Structure 1
Amino acid sequence: MVAMPPAGYAGTESEAPVTPSGESAEGLIGIDEVQRALNRSRASVYRYTNTDPRNLNPPFNPRKLNPEYRSDQKDPLMFHPNEVARFARDVLRIKEVTVEVLNSPYSATQQLLSTILDELREIRGLLASSGVEPAADLSARLSASERKRSAA
């Protein structure tokens, strides 16, 4: 069961726009970001969190900070920024709530993938300029080559 805010909840106007970070998909934030947003200690954030050692994904609790769905007990706790803002406003009674999700720093993996993508684009451009048509449908090309082999 996915931890969801109550029906009709749409967030607050004071929340910053959510942008997905490289590490946390779909704009989810971890304990450290929640700690900074709430200006509370790490231990406090864990006390606020709706967790249960016997139930991996407990039902939504409006008095607790509800993490997103986890598939394994070892998965880190991740929170939706709107849930953090709801908890801060409704439970902690913090008036000004701003939760910001920043993009992760450019990693070596991202740099390598970007380089590979650039090279693939360059290869595609060279193939297009030499008159070789790019493979639109690989299965059609494979079946054509198989027909040639069987005819021989």
Structure 2
Amino acid sequence: MSEGLIGIDEVQKALNRSRASVYRYTNTDPRNLYPPFNPRKLNPEYRTDQKDPLMFHPNEVARFARDVLRIKEVTVEVLNSPSTATQELLGAILEELRTIRSRLDHLDHLDHLDHLDGRTAVDLSARRDQLDHGARPAA
């Protein structure tokens, strides 16, 4: 399921309509997987196969309720999905990049201090060795 999208059941609850009504409102065409936007219909998100479930963006459901059904207030609740392996991997990559950035900033700061003191710049690889000594996990 795509992030932030809702299915027929949630649309049915949000619009307070029967499942059959929601299907009648929906802009679908058995011959065309991607029908053009229809402002008088409830437009689902793109699908890769006719057998994929219909999914809707909450803003589209709210637009349809307001503009077509003339419902004054519609509450569409989107629940956060549990984190996926991909999200966890991306989080780990982000954390590693932050660590690298922090170390580079630290090295840049030390290099700047060396120039202020008038000392000669220390070999960058020696500094990396000092920082990495025992702090780097095995790959």
**Structure number with higher relative contact order (C-alpha < 8 Å, ≥ 6 residues apart):** 1
Matched-pair identity in %: 90
Question: Where does the alignment leave 5 or more consecutive residues of structure 2 unmatched?
Answer: 84-132
In the other structure, the counterpart of 1:89 is 66
Residue identity matched to 2:11: V
- Is 2:27 the partner of 1:50? yes
In the other structure, the counterpart of 1:131 is 134
How many pairs does the alignment contain? Answer: 92
Residue identity matched to 1:29: I
- Secondary structure of the residue aligned to 2:3 is helix
C-alpha distance after superposition, 1:89-124 (max 9, x if no partner)? 000000112111123579xxxxxxxxxxxxxxxxxx
Cα distance in 2 between the residues matched to 1:76 and 1:59: 18
Residue 93 and residue 74 in structure 1: after superposition, are their counterparts in 2 closer, same or farther (change >3 A)? same
When normalised by structure 1's length, the TM-score is: 0.54
List, as ranges, runs of 4+ consecutive aligned residues in structure 1 with deviation greater than 6 Å: none
Q: Cα RMSD over matched residues?
A: 2.6
Cα distance in 1 between the residues matched to 2:81 and 2:39: 30
Give the superposition deviation at 1:134: 2.8
Cα distance in 2 between the residues matched to 1:97 and 1:90: 11
Question: Where does the alignment leave 5 or more consecutive residues of structure 1 unmatched?
Answer: 1-23, 107-129, 137-152
Q: How is 1:1-152 mapped onto 2 (pairs within 5 angstroms)?
A: 24-104=1-81, 131=134, 133-134=136-137
Per residue, is there more helix in 1 or in 2? 2
Residue 75 and residue 90 in structure 1: after superposition, are their counterparts in 2 closer, same or farther (change >3 A)? same
Contact 2:4/2:80 (8 A) holds in 1: no
